[in-house]
Structure 1
Amino acid sequence: MMKISYVICFVMLNLWTSTRGELFTAISDVEPLLETHRKIIDDLDDYINKEEKRLSILKRHLVKYKNEHEKAMDDIPNYLGNPINAFTLIKRLTTDLDLIEKNIISGTAYIKNITIMNNHSDVKYPTLEDLVGAAQALTRLQETYHLEVNDLSEGRLNGVIYSTSMSAGDCYQLGKALYNEKDYTNALAWMMQALRKYSEDEEEKNFTEVDILEYISFSHYLLDDVKKAMLWTKKLLDLDPEHSRALGNLPHYKKALEEKEAKNKRRLRGDTGEVDLDEYLTDADQPEKKPEALSKYEKERQSYEALCRGEMEMPSKITKKLYCRYLNENNPFLILAPVKMEYMYLNPDIVVFHEVLSDSEIEHIKELAKPRFRRATVHDPKTGELVPAHYRISKSGWLKDEDSPIIARVSRRVADFTGLSMMSAEELQVVNYGIGGHYEPHFDFARKQEHAFEKFNGNRIATVLFYMSDVAQGGATVFTELGLSVFPVKGAAVFWLNLHPSGEGDLATRHAACPVLRGSKWVCNKWIHQGGQELILPCDLEYQPESMIRTPPRPVPKTSR
């Protein structure tokens, strides 16, 4: 519009200043105006074409936004509980919004600022950090639940389509975020998806096929696959022969490959200069190599992920002793309202108390906690300070008994069904897990070398974990040493003791919160400390009785039936 206004004004200015009203006196003087007329037509035509293209792009974005918003509003928890939907929503409000900005004269700054001018303080925009976090969450889900990248890009979770297919742009931005986080393996996988979808995707893009190929080639190089890096760089140069970085990288790759081959040749010759014949044996001729022993962390990681997937089961010698009963003794409240009690494990006892939170109590607790939500933290074992950690992705808030009669009622109920004193219990911690939200294996008690609970009255003797939502897929609480998976049931609470009678921490209670694959996971914790339990759970006279040093039976993989 600015350009066309300038053209028109410029022409009119010349008409009025140069001709001084004499054009109409001779046709020969009027004829040049037809050329001016043609130029205006061409400029207007060009401007209108560009405007129509710009508006067409905006309309496509608008249709996409409206369609997705309608799907979301039909069932908000299930829509946002799908990690693919959550990632693409954040992408639409970050990188896609930047693309829209280029197609609106006033720009995104106007869209964002107008919400401030109208005092819409409740409007929020995600940041690029949110986009990176969502990308890492998808990768975590992919690895934990053995999901294929191709399935995720098509909106499939465990073989079921739950969301719209991801676009080439979605895959590209996901790959780019992971690349910037130096996760080159997963970045490469998503860039390959972006390349596969590129030609099929009709949406406006702020990247090219060449951009994708550059990420693919350099990711291969950073993963020490120089041959593939060269191959993909050549494909890039087929599309863009003048690409400066690719032209610069190619000789570098050739040199790296030559050095690698020379090094291999020297290794084959050995110190004596003779060829090591073992290097020429075929795979069939090679003696069978023993697999490298897994580290303690790797073993636990395998167990943790298998338990999250529900692929492990406890030995029958444990399960045959488990039982359910009503808890209705030693307490007037329990006599009137017995609690359903299910033993999930014995020694250590892991117990689920069913139907101990009502729906109305859950909604009250959630609404009370939301304004206090902050990113969940963990105790730094060196300083005792609370710090954020990549292995705990959630937000939490703390509620005191004085904040609401309902919170005080929940604390009394915990005292009733656990039989423990709340004298030294911590405030109620309310937690909502984010996209792929999880908490990796940990202990609730403080180890000897830690200084986590110095301000409290003793160590955490017990944990009560309330489930305030069902979770469609994932989100189990797993005990990695016991081979036990407890899946969330709304209104239930899982309870266990963290310490031996001697006061020593029980290593068998190591547990984790599995990533939420689909759905929203809400929980609240009540951690109970040693203070006030002296007569309820007296200490054992022996510091660590031999009977307490046990090795739990190992879980076994589920057999197909």
Structure 2
Amino acid sequence: MLISKFVASCLILTCSVTWARAELFTAISDVEPLLETYKRIIDDLDDYIVKEEERLIVLKRHLNIYKRDHESAMQDIPNYLGNPINAFTLIKRLTSDLDNIEHSIKIGTEYIKNLTVNHSDVKYPTLEDLAGAAQALTRLQETYNLEVSELAEGRLNGVNYSTPMSAGDCYELGKTLYNEKDYTNALAWMTIALKKYKEENQPYLFKETDIMEYIGFSHYLLGDVKTALIWTKKMLALEPNHVRAKGNVPHYNKIIAEDEEKLRRRRRGDTGEDLVEKIPDKEPKMSPFAKERKVYERLCRGEMDVPQEISKTLHCRYLTENHPFLLLAPIKMEYMYRNPDIVLFYNVLSDQEIEDIQKMAKPRFRRATVHDTKTGELVPAHYRISKSGWLRDEESSVVAKVSRRVSHFTGLSMQFAEDLQVVNYGIGGHYEPHFDFARRKEPAFEKYNGNRIATVLFYMSDVAQGGATVFTELGLSLFPVKGAAAFWLNLHPSGEGDLATRHAACPVLTGSKWVCNKWIHEGGQEFIKPCNLEYQAESMGRKIPRPVPKSSR
């Protein structure tokens, strides 16, 4: 608009000059109106230059931040991208920030896009990526009891991992969460954005009232109309002609008046006398899902221990049976739980093997999927955030060697085992509680000649914080150890699924989590682990000891 006004003023001046050449010299009075035109051009041009300088200041600030962040990232790429805050801000820079730059400086942005976006070797995140990154930060915040104020300063569990987020970062995060209808967290981030906006005193493409509008309307959508009204009045104090704010004030006043009238009527009752409101005797019962969620989050934070009656039976030893090769190269193993037995085998993947497997898997990575319980088809799910690729034994000697090694330390046949699944978890990547086996009447795994009898989970990286494998029924947390593999049986001897093996992958707080899975099926195990003829009532109905909170020890 500013440029168009400037151009329009220039056109006026051009027309005036043309007219002046013809007759202006004949009367000074006729020249006098040009002074007004000239003043308008000076004012417009002055305003235009101020605005351009502000745009350049913003652009230079973006450039300095980009340079600093890129230099920091290149020093240690895995650790930099393993930090969820860094990953979010990187996606934000290449989505909303770039859109803002494009809106502000069209010519410069078109030039940038001609150099980059039109080339096939350059990737850009989408707004869906931005929303996913915002939701991941919220997931980490809720799972690990993180304060929004701490996250905004680049601190994760009290450790500084990155530079503080700017007001613009917090504003964009809050706006993204608002658009995802997560109004509680949107409100928290907008509140931080407002605080930083006032502290930074920097030019932004949004105003203080823009932040306040999100805060006010978030309160309204959360049912707190009185607070929404307070924030709307604050907006009007700064911007008296704000159209939406002026319209919302009478709307909010009407809702408040109606609510107060309803409350008065309810208290009066039919007799017109005040009634004492009944207070429920007990809090509403927690649903099984909510209970499991609470246990899951505590396990992710490492706040629970296995009960003493289990821990006293745990021990380490060298595995030498199952295969003659193990007599020459025994494997260190540690029992992490008993009945069901969950074992950790150490040093079963070398660094070179890990590197080779990662290199083969990366080009095949797709959004991780789960089995649809109705169709048996693989489908993406919001409760599993990662990317995975599959590697066959036939295409690589490294993969074939890993399969043979699995057979050696598990003592099971690989005849009907699935291909090696390689997984890398993204920003706040996780997999909520689930079973690896197919439940009754689920059509999954029919082509593998039987259900998943066992799981082998290789850890291909250490994780600085988070990323544990947790068993919600057992109260067990396994934190990643690079080169190790966790192993457990999913089925009872009867072939029924063992409900105690319900497990989950906790969100990665900081770092990059790489794992690979080898799922072994019943087919081929007939003479190795034969099924019992009778239903295992004793094992199915066994009482699992309750896990112990660490705080109570």
Q: Scaled by the length of structure 1, what TM-score is found? A: 0.91
CA distance 1:533–1:15, change in 2 (3 Å): same
- Deviation per CA, 1:417-446: give whole Å up to 9, x if none: 111101100010010001000000000000
CA distance 1:28–1:128, change in 2 (3 Å): closer
Paired position in structure 2 for 1:555:
547
CA distance 1:560–1:151, change in 2 (3 Å): farther
Once the two structures are TM-superposed, the CA of residue 55 in structure 1 deviates from its matched residue by: 2.6
Alignment map for 1:295-306 (pairs within 5 Å):
295-306=287-298
Check if 1:66 corresponds to 2:85. no
Paired position in structure 2 for 1:501:
493
Alignment map for 1:20-99 (pairs within 5 Å):
48-99=49-100
Paired position in structure 1 for 2:301:
309
Bigger CA drift: 62-71 or 253-262?
A: 253-262
SS in 1 for 2:322: coil
Once the two structures are TM-superposed, the CA of residue 168 in structure 1 deviates from its matched residue by: 1.2
How far apart, CA to CA, are the structure 2 residues paired with 1:539 and 1:46? Answer: 84
Check if 1:355 corresponds to 2:347. yes
CA distance 1:43–1:240, change in 2 (3 Å): closer
Paired position in structure 2 for 1:535:
527
Alignment map for 1:290-439 (pairs within 5 Å):
290-439=282-431
Paired position in structure 1 for 2:102:
101
CA distance 1:64–1:202, change in 2 (3 Å): farther
Check if 1:212 corresponds to 2:250. no
Bigger CA drift: 355-364 or 291-300?
A: 291-300
Check if 1:237 corresponds to 2:236. yes
How far apart, CA to CA, are the structure 2 residues paired with 1:11 and 1:545? Answer: 96
How far apart, CA to CA, are the structure 2 residues paired with 1:531 and 1:253? Answer: 66
Paired position in structure 1 for 2:185:
186
Alignment map for 1:194-273 (pairs within 5 Å):
194-273=193-272
Structure 2 contact 9–37 (Cα < 8 Å) conserved: no
How far apart, CA to CA, are the structure 1 residues paired with 2:367 and 2:109? Answer: 28
- Deviation per CA, 1:464-520: give whole Å up to 9, x if none: 000000000000000000000000000000000000000000000000000000000
SS in 1 for 2:251: helix
Structure 1 contact 58–103 (Cα < 8 Å) conserved: no
SS in 1 for 2:199: coil
SS in 1 for 2:439: coil
Q: What residue identity is the alignment partner of 2:298? A: A
CA distance 1:207–1:45, change in 2 (3 Å): closer
How far apart, CA to CA, are the structure 2 residues paired with 1:493 and 1:209? Answer: 52
Q: What residue identity is the alignment partner of 1:89? A: L
How far apart, CA to CA, are the structure 1 residues paired with 2:257 and 2:329? Answer: 78
Bigger CA drift: 173-182 or 481-490?
A: 173-182
CA distance 1:31–1:371, change in 2 (3 Å): same
Once the two structures are TM-superposed, the CA of residue 101 in structure 1 deviates from its matched residue by: 1.6
How far apart, CA to CA, are the structure 2 residues paired with 1:398 and 1:238? Answer: 60
Paired position in structure 2 for 1:151:
150
Once the two structures are TM-superposed, the CA of residue 266 in structure 1 deviates from its matched residue by: 2.6
SS in 2 for 1:330: coil
Q: How many residues align?
A: 551
Once the two structures are TM-superposed, the CA of residue 37 in structure 1 deviates from its matched residue by: 9.0
Q: What residue identity is the alignment partner of 1:160? A: V
SS in 2 for 1:53: helix
Once the two structures are TM-superposed, the CA of residue 244 in structure 1 deviates from its matched residue by: 2.1
Structure 2 contact 340–488 (Cα < 8 Å) conserved: yes
Structure 2 contact 149–192 (Cα < 8 Å) conserved: yes
How far apart, CA to CA, are the structure 1 residues paired with 2:436 and 2:259? Answer: 49
Structure 1 contact 461–499 (Cα < 8 Å) conserved: yes
How far apart, CA to CA, are the structure 2 residues paired with 1:480 and 1:560? Answer: 19
SS in 2 for 1:218: helix
How far apart, CA to CA, are the structure 2 residues paired with 1:345 and 1:534? Answer: 26
Unaligned 5+ segments in structure 1 are 280-285
How far apart, CA to CA, are the structure 2 residues paired with 1:183 and 1:523? Answer: 31
How far apart, CA to CA, are the structure 1 residues paired with 2:6 and 2:99? Answer: 26
Q: What residue identity is the alignment partner of 2:237? A: D
SS in 2 for 1:97: helix
SS in 1 for 2:139: helix
CA distance 1:49–1:324, change in 2 (3 Å): same
CA distance 1:250–1:43, change in 2 (3 Å): closer
- Deviation per CA, 1:164-218: give whole Å up to 9, x if none: 1111111111111111111111111111111111112244322211111111111
Once the two structures are TM-superposed, the CA of residue 393 in structure 1 deviates from its matched residue by: 0.4
Paired position in structure 2 for 1:162:
161
Structure 2 contact 13–38 (Cα < 8 Å) conserved: no
SS in 2 for 1:455: helix
CA distance 1:108–1:41, change in 2 (3 Å): closer
Structure 1 contact 175–189 (Cα < 8 Å) conserved: yes
CA distance 1:275–1:45, change in 2 (3 Å): closer
CA distance 1:28–1:508, change in 2 (3 Å): closer
Bigger CA drift: 386-395 or 198-207?
A: 198-207
Q: What residue identity is the alignment partner of 1:332? A: P
Check if 1:110 corresponds to 2:102. no
Q: What residue identity is the alignment partner of 2:209? A: V
Q: Scaled by the length of structure 2, what TM-score is found? A: 0.92
SS in 2 for 1:138: helix
Once the two structures are TM-superposed, the CA of residue 292 in structure 1 deviates from its matched residue by: 2.3
SS in 1 for 2:543: coil
SS in 2 for 1:440: strand
Once the two structures are TM-superposed, the CA of residue 15 in structure 1 deviates from its matched residue by: 6.5
- Deviation per CA, 1:256-305: give whole Å up to 9, x if none: 222222222232234554432456xxxxxx7x933322111111001000
Once the two structures are TM-superposed, the CA of residue 35 in structure 1 deviates from its matched residue by: 9.8
SS in 2 for 1:199: helix
Unaligned 5+ segments in structure 2 are none
Aligned-residue identity in percent: 72
SS in 2 for 1:340: strand
Once the two structures are TM-superposed, the CA of residue 12 in structure 1 deviates from its matched residue by: 7.7
CA distance 1:232–1:104, change in 2 (3 Å): closer
CA distance 1:53–1:292, change in 2 (3 Å): closer
Taking only aligned residues, the RMSD between alpha carbons, in angstroms, comes to 2.8
How far apart, CA to CA, are the structure 2 residues paired with 1:238 and 1:14? Answer: 43
